[in-house]
């Protein structure tokens, strides 16, 4: 464990029950009520937002918690962090004649019901799916474009 992790754990242990906020307690309760798939989705999202790579090593950047780099090392680190790995599929517009087919397609790659998928498609421009790799997103985008939708990868 790193020194920062140990310090953080000691800090958390030193907090009394009274010092914990209702918000934190509510979040903890909600996390405990997640099913297995929701827990997996949460951990993936959490790791992305915390800047962790696949194996859990933190991505260090300049600032109080990470070392600052200069020279060629800084250019390499900036180039590596600029490369995007998670993409969102955004529906820009669609052909009104193909609306039903597009709703069915949206339902096929999301866990939405008919009403939710219809509402989502009708509020264009909107993000249909978040956090996909390019390999996962390309077949979906191709299918939606075949149906008459204008879709972008963000």
What are the tens digits of pLDDT across the range 45-73? 888 887 776 554 555 555 454 455 555 55
Cβ neighbours, 10 Å, residue 41: 13
Taking 70 as the threshold, does the pLDDT of residue 100 lie above it? Answer: yes
Last residue of a domain, one of 49, 82, 115: 82
Same domain, 31 and 44: yes
What is the C-alpha separation between 31 and 75, in angstroms, rounded? 39
From the list 16, 37, 20, the residue with the least C-alpha distance to 29 is 20
Percentage of the residues of the chain whose pLDDT score is greater than 70: 69
Pick from 82, 97, 112: which residue ends a domain? 82
Residue 76: pLDDT above 70?
no
* Residue 102 phi, psi (nearest 5): -70, -40
Quote the pLDDT of residue 56. 47
Q: Quick one: pLDDT at residue 18? A: 52
pLDDT of 109 above 50: yes
Strand positions, DSSP E, the chain: 87-94, 126-132, 149-153
Structural domain that includes position 99: 87-153
Q: What is the mean pLDDT of the chain?
A: 76
Residue 149 has pLDDT above 80, yes or no: yes
Answer yes or no: do 95 and 60 share one domain: no
- What pLDDT sits at residue 23? 77
**Are 67 and 113 within one domain?**
no
Q: How many CB atoms lie within 10 A of CB 91?
A: 21
Q: Does the pLDDT at position 147 exceed 80?
A: yes
Q: Are residues 56 and 92 in the same domain?
A: no
pLDDT reading at 114 higher than 80: yes
Place of tokens 């989705």: 41
The pair of three-digit structure tokens given for residue 16, joined into one six-digit string: 């009394």
Q: Are residues 105 and 149 in the same domain?
A: yes
> Which has more pLDDT, 95 or 53?
95
Same domain, 78 and 91: no
The CATH number of the domain holding residue 107 is 3.30.1390.10
Bridge partners, 42 (sequence order): none
| Stretch 22-31: mean pLDDT | 80
How many domains in the chain?
2
Please check whether residues 73 and 129 belong to one and the same domain.
no
Mean pLDDT of 89-115: 87
């Amino acid at each position: 464990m790193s020194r920062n992790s140990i310090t953080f754990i000691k800090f958390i242990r030193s907090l009394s029950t009274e010092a914990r906020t209702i918000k934190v307690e509510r979040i903890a309760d909600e996390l405990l009520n997640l099913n297995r798939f929701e827990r997996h989705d949460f951990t993936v999202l959490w790791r992305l937002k915390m800047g962790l790579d696949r194996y859990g090593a933190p991505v260090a950047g300049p600032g109080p918690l990470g070392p600052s780099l200069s020279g060629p090392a800084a250019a390499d680190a900036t180039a590596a962090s600029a490369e995007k790995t998670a993409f969102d599929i955004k529906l820009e517009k669609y052909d009104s004649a193909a609306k039903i087919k597009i709703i069915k397609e949206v339902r096929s790659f999301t866990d939405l019901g008919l009403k939710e998928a219809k509402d989502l498609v009708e509020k264009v421009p909107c993000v249909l799916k978040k956090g996909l790799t390019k390999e996962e997103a390309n077949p979906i985008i191709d299918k939606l474009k075949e149906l008459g939708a204008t879709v972008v990868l963000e």
